[in-house]
Amino acid sequence: MVASTQDSVNEKGTALKRGWTTGACATAATSAALYGLFSETFKDPIQITLPGGQTPDFALAAEERGDDFAMCGIVKDAGDDPDVTHGAMVRATVRQLPKGSGVQFKAGKGVGMVTKPGLPIPPGEPAINPVPRKMMIEHCEKICAELGARADIEITISVDNGEALAQQTWNPRLGIVGGLSILGTTGIVVPFSCAAWIHSIHRGIDVARAEGLTHVVGSTGDASEKAAQKRLGLPLEAYLDMGDFAGGLLKYLKANPVPNLTICGGFAKITKLAEGHLDLHSGRSQVGFDWLAEQAQSLGADEALCSDIRAANTAKQVLELCTDAQIPIAEKIAILAAQVAQGKLRNNDIRVSVLVTDRKGVIIAES
């Protein structure tokens, strides 16, 4: 039975198709390759069991058998999620090892190696996360028992074009070199899920702490990150692509503190944070123009300006109005945002600062 793939909807109410993680694809490819190694035919489609009990089928996209190996490939279907690995070929090559070797993992072409501490996998190991490893080991033991073979197996996972795809992920700054990570805790990709992004933020903090860094930076986008890099000059591992997930960043730092945190972002997103929003996505929080008018009034704005702010269409328009009137609204927003973040951390040992940028990525205010 194929697992359900229609459990979520987009903002228009249209059903979204779920997909499969690289870990699920690697497990399916490994399972099919084992049948090719120890029996006369590859099993196609191949069925696996996910951690939640779902039993999806995967069609093989590639298969090859040699004197001492078998290889199968699965094309990853990420469903309707904008995943950089959607459509990538995940391959597993299996070989028999000497008795007592157990299951061993190798990184093939396009799969990275871990080089820094702080990740779930120690340095020197292929970037194949614990749950995918567990899934592959369990399926390997089950299939080998079924076919009367020893579960002493070398599993090499590779991803076509994985090294190039990895440049679009956090891997380079996490110290994962040479390719992608094989990920997944459920085997299922939930479309437009916040979980994967927040997971990356957490791993970034883990690596920064393991590296002994005392200052991390959460940026809302590429332009703000570049501005922070130019201003602060910290190591690459210090910069966290926070995106819209200020709450995910702050919650994890509260439990896993770093002495100094800088949040850097555009005026609109930092305004949302200053007003108390922790999810800065435009579909889940909005700039409060009445609230902005109140802040401008506290800085000396007259009623005419406050009326214009209330009637504004964008935060950019508010910033321009206040700049023309010499009302330091960006500075006030930076201070309030830092106070909100500090309050959410509830830890005075973490010093919070905020940088506000304009649309060109120029820093216009700081707390």
Structural domain including 79 reads 19-189
Is the same domain home to 231 and 147?
A: no
Looking at 163, 189, 215, the residue that finishes a domain is: 189
Using CB atoms within 10 Å of the CB of residue 145, give its burial: 0 to 12 exposed, 13 to 18 middle, 19+ buried: exposed
- pLDDT of the residue at 2: 37
293 vs 313, which has greater pLDDT? 293
Task: Calculate mean pLDDT across residues 310-335.
Answer: 93
Closest to 292 (Cα-Cα) out of 313, 306, 273 = 306
Q: Is the pLDDT of residue 151 over 90?
A: yes
What is the reported pTM? 0.73
Is the same domain home to 237 and 336?
A: yes
Q: Return the minimum-mean-pLDDT range out of 128-142, 179-193, 258-272, 330-344.
A: 179-193
By percentage, how much of the chain surpasses pLDDT 70? 94
- pLDDT of the residue at 10: 43
Looking at 167, 189, 211, the residue that finishes a domain is: 189
Work out the pLDDT band at 193, boundaries 50, 70, 90. Answer: low
Is the same domain home to 236 and 313?
A: yes
Is the same domain home to 203 and 162?
A: no
Pairing of strands 188-189, 113-114: unpaired
Closest to 319 (Cα-Cα) out of 218, 308, 107 = 308
Q: Is the pLDDT of residue 314 over 90?
A: no
Q: What domain count does the chain have?
A: 2
Is the same domain home to 177 and 265?
A: no
Is the same domain home to 293 and 200?
A: yes
In this predicted model, what pLDDT tens digit does every residue of 262-297 receive, in sequence order?
999 999 999 999 999 998 987 788 899 999 999 999
The answer to whether residue 13 sits within a structural domain is: no
* Alpha-carbon dihedral 288, 243, 131, 237, rounded to 10 degrees: -140
In this predicted model, what pLDDT tens digit does every residue of 106-144 receive, in sequence order?
999 999 999 988 888 999 999 999 999 999 999 999 999
- pLDDT of the residue at 146: 97
* Residue given tokens 């209330």 in the structure block: 310
The answer to whether residue 96 sits within a structural domain is: yes
Q: Any idea what the CATH number is for the domain that residue 56 is in? A: 3.30.2110.10
Is the same domain home to 174 and 200?
A: no
* Secondary structure letter of residue 67 according to DSSP: S
